[in-house]
Amino acid sequence: MRRRDLLPALATSAAMAQTNAPTQRKGRIKQGVTRGVFGRDMSLEDACRAAARLGIKGFDLIGPPDWPLLKKYGLVPSMYPPGPGGTIPTSLNR
């Protein structure tokens, strides 16, 4: 590439980078969250609704009684509390 070709190429790439075209996602990342991500005063149903709107796939540390609510919003329970390894304060945080 010659020097005189560099400037137009840079200008073109900068203009392409600033377009507001939506990014095409492949959907391979499946993100999970816990209730702590959302406000303390937010109900579980509101948190599930917000998570589904954001494209979240899993919800951690939700027990079996609330699994139908997760299913209603297309979410999966991705980590069972307290699980076979114990609770977070007594096992995971140590």
As a whole number, the mean pLDDT across the chain is 79
State how far the Cα of 48 lies from the Cα of 64, in Å rounded to an integer: 15
pLDDT of residue 47: 93
The structure's pTM equals: 0.60
pLDDT tens across 26-49, in order? 767 788 898 888 888 999 999 999
Name the token pair of 69: 């609510």
In a domain, 45, yes or no: yes
State how far the Cα of 63 lies from the Cα of 79, in Å rounded to an integer: 9
pLDDT of residue 85: 64
In a domain, 9, yes or no: no
In a domain, 75, yes or no: yes
| Structural domain count of the chain | 1
